[in-house]
Each structure stands twice: as structure tokens, then as C-alpha cells.
Homo-oligomer: A and B are copies of this chain.
């Protein structure tokens, strides 16, 4: 049975503003995607979040986004490929400095919000993103929405690609996410989520809301950190996977296997 990693977006507080339950979620994940100060996070928050991840022996990854704190990086912005490359390099370096100050290094990169979503369907943008990562450090793992342009771009740039499935989101028969607000968009039950994950890692198929089974190779599961009950969901998912004998391992080990 293939192993799987669990990742979560963390370090999204800013200044006096608190977001997410980072300390409660850390015990149940293997990869932390840490905001880099553009869509969220600030130097003090980044520093503290890397420290927290190290304490929990969770792999540190960068979570770069658009320069739009007011919109939390969720608003599409039309940056040129050159702007994307530079903005991503900037954020990777900024987080690497925090990692270095804690005697660790970045392990992976996963883009945030609108940058991730746009790049998933825009190969030019995805390549700009992947190129920045490869130029920064060609050994970083590139986290990509399973089956999207991000996967293609990561390979093109010579990066190891980790395909991602959202643990708590419903999928449509074409492999896209059920939009938030529609029925089936969110899986409420960690048991249901865990069952779907088991099918993923044992049979390599993703169950859709329509009842179809999509062939998907998943390396990492995303759990959300900023929703109410996020920590409980993560804990339960983790337990269910253990009960199902699905190995939960760091991303590096998963993609290597």
C-alpha cells in the first residue's frame, strides 16, 4: 500500500491577527506549508511557525501567494511570468532564512490560493512558478493539484512533483473540485474522508460525488487549518488512516517510494 503525506497551510497569522490553530494541528500532519508574508504571515509569525514545525518534526515548506494581504491571496491578479518568478523567489528566500535560523531547510513548495488555482489551469503561469522553485533549489518537492497543469510544469522544470488531493473537499467526475457553496463541496466526516483516502492509496482511485472512480496517484492530502474544527478533523483523519493501516509519512519518503 502506498504511503501518504498530510499537509496543511499554516503560519497565516499577521501582526496582532491570529488565524488557524497551528499548534493543535501540528501533531497530525507531516508537511507544513508556511505563508511567506505576501498573502499572509509576517517575519515574526514565520519565525515562530518554523520553530513550531521543527518542534513537531514536521517538514517545512513554502506557501507563496500573490502580494495581496487585503484579499488573503484569494483574488486573481494578472502578473506576468517574470513577476511571478520574482515574487516566488522572494518568498522562498524569505522563508528559507527562517528555516536556516532554525538549522533546517525547506522541503517543499505549494502555492497559495489564487496563484495555485490559476496555475492549475494555466501552463504558462505554472511554468513560471515551477521555474522559480527550480532556480531556487532543484531538490524541492513541488506540490501540485493532482492532474493539473502544475504537475506538468513541475516535471518540465525537473522537479519532483507531489500530487495533492484535498481530504475534505468533494470532487466532480471531471476531477475538478465541487465549488464551495454547492452540495458535496465539503466532506464533513473524517471517516468518510479516510475511506476515500484508503481507496486512493490502495486502489489509486478517487471517488467522486457522482460515484465515479478517477485514477489518481496521490502523494499528499491537504487538510485546512482555518476552518472551525480543523484540528479535530486532522486528528480524526490521522487516526482513521492509522486504523486502515495507511502509512502516513513525510512527503520526501512518499515521493521517493
Contacts and interface: CB of A to CB of B under 8 A. Distances in A.
A21 interface: no
A93 interface: yes
A82 interface: yes
Interface in A68-100: 68-72, 75-79, 82-83, 85-87, 89-98, 100
Interface residues of A, number: 46
B17 A90 contact: no
Nearest to A102: B135
A181 interface: no
Given A86-B43, A94-B94, A136-B100, A75 B75 contact: no
A15 interface: yes
Contacts of A135: 100-101
A91 B101 CA distance: 13
A230 interface: no
B77 A68 contact: yes
A67 interface: yes
A46 interface: yes
Contacts of A75: 77-79
